[in-house]
Structure 1
Amino acid sequence: MIVQDFVSKPFSKHISNGSTTWSSPSNIALVKYWGKREPQLPENPSISFTLSNCKTITTLRYSEKKNDGNFSFDIFLDGEKKDDFKHKIDTFFNRIKAYAPFLEHYHFTIETKNTFPHSSGIASSASGMSALALCLVDLEKELLQLNDMEGFSANGDLSSEKKSLLDDYFLKKASFLARLGSGSACRSLQGPLVVWGHHDEIEGSTDLFGVSYPFEVHKHFRNYQDVILLVDKGEKQVSSTIGHNLMHGHPFAQERFKQANRNISTLKTILKEGNVDAFINIVESEALTLHAMMMTSQPYFILMKPNTLKIINSIWDFRKKTGSKLCFTLDAGANVHVLFPGNETQKVLDFINNELVVYCENGNYICDQIGIGAKKI
């Protein structure tokens, strides 16, 4: 698909008012995306596990207004009005208005909440922007039905094959829009594994939206768990946007982009054959490479904390002593994601409680598992 496939025609008729609610999870990349070009396109492909419990639930309420060429919206987080979020949403709406021409015809009330604690150190941009994008595409679907226009509005007269194609387009458009709000948000709509960015060996992969990983996955990887150790719940010293932009002119950028492509090729075989040791090697190397790129950019910066390193070394020691198949990965921050097969849950949780919680801020961590993606509520 190409960009023009997502451009919408103006609507002559509008729904006077209504609401829709969607939940969408966060995700954790196994092969990392770091570096982008406009408009929000990745310099290298990435692949991620979709999470289950760490999600955002967003209700979009809309009421028709005069189209004065302006956006009109209010944002609430956990019932509290958040005007400081308005700039981010206004930027998002400006980016997507060609694909959602109804935006200026409505006043929106955006009510959102996260299932993970506020200021927990877990980035909510992926889950939040994907949930909002789903709500907007759901509204567009209703408008297409009202205006009797071709699109992804499915009625009961359609064959199951046709309806499946329309539902597929719905998810692709929502992922396409979510990407324009936050790049990694396009990986949060489906699961359990999602690829974003074109890769020669993955048919259907594209820079425009995330797609479900299309190949066989060994049973070893079907019940993975993720415990997120909250090392630092403060605001990051460098935003992800600034970090991505520092890849422009980075002395190691081009080799990093090639490495990510190679790692996805390797991971494709690993996921099929069930080689957990090779999986661990790829995932941990990717996490450390991400932070190596931060430490070698200009200006350079370090987002890991001393306790991040203590956790990593403790994981390595535990794995060497016990033969456990747990491993770590990191996002662009200090927190540590501990990934492990479901059959090791009790052993790993005992290890975390006995040895790792001391490195977490106030002893906080969140248990999660691999999920299947977003859903309408």
Structure 2
Amino acid sequence: MIARESLDLQTPYELPAGSLEALIAGVFAEVFELDRIGAADEFFDVGGDSLLGEVLSEQISQRTGQDFKISDLFEHGSPREIARFLSGKSSQPAMGAGGRPPIFLIHGRVGFTLPKPSFRKVFGEDQEFHVFELPGIRGGQSYDRIEDIAAVYVAQLVERHPQGPILIVSFCVGALIALEMAAQLAVRGRPIAQLVMLDPSLPKNRGVDLKRERKRKAQREHGEPPLGPFGAQALWQKMRDAAGRIAAKREDPAETLQSFREKLLTKEERGRSKMPGVPQSLEARAKLQFALSRYKPRKFDGPVEILASPERELDSSLADLLPRRRTRLVFEEHGEISTAKAASLMQSIFEEALADAGSSPPHELSIGSMSLAAREA
């Protein structure tokens, strides 16, 4: 056990009040291996991260018998706030209290996202968020098709926000889920007013040979032989033809759902699992990664802002699906996508998109938003 006082917290210790607060504080202490936790101690302040968030939410759900999602820690981070939330007495503002539409966050390959507190503070407490969580990650139905996962999220979105402009943020490979949601929402007559993709990428296991071949094609079109100044044109032509023949006959074999299960199980056995000993999490994640590797995204004609880092090159096949995109290299590394820097950029993007949309009738939201992309093109 670690002494709470050794953490040098800014929050003074407050004794938990009531049985529910005490129970949750006890769960905190067990997960963080601390001798005690105060009622007002915040999850991130005591060393919380995504991995511990999963474990903590699972334990709270089991001990209280009430559903507490990993993403709920985004809004309710202390034993007191969690107890109020589970009791229906949360101090958080009611939906729509800020007069702005909610912002919907789509996770990456781990099945959830838990941005840093600084990310949340940029928007203020009156901004409503909805953080999607992978179905089945804590038990229940899980899916091995992006179409099915997106359908669950679309249903949640429509229930939470039945009318008005839709604002969506995707993290990493969650961009593929966002594209499928956009297609399904369009069918419902609810086009996305603004989509922000934070460092999007395709799964690494997805068509490696084909991806390499697309890069070769781009190099040829720009007259950039990859062999450099010492590569003779004839030799390059022979190698290119050989590569084309090989690619036509053989691609990397597609991974199966079982292979994804085995990879995640190996991580668990090595102590690197996100949720050790919770088989439903492993199964849901394996299905998500399998689904991402097989999904064929559809074109999105709406406004897209891509905020990227140099380490994540936007795949050309994904870029081709976004004719109204604007890409900016704003992060030094991928880990910055859940920080205050990302939140500040998102806030300005959404405010401008809503200002444009507000100048047009509701049925012309998608047209009104076009002016932003047109000016930046």
TM, length-normalised to structure 2: 0.26
TM-score by length of 1: 0.26
| Rg (Cα) greater in structure | 2
User: Which structure has the higher relative contact order (CA within 8 Å, separation 6+)?
Assistant: 1
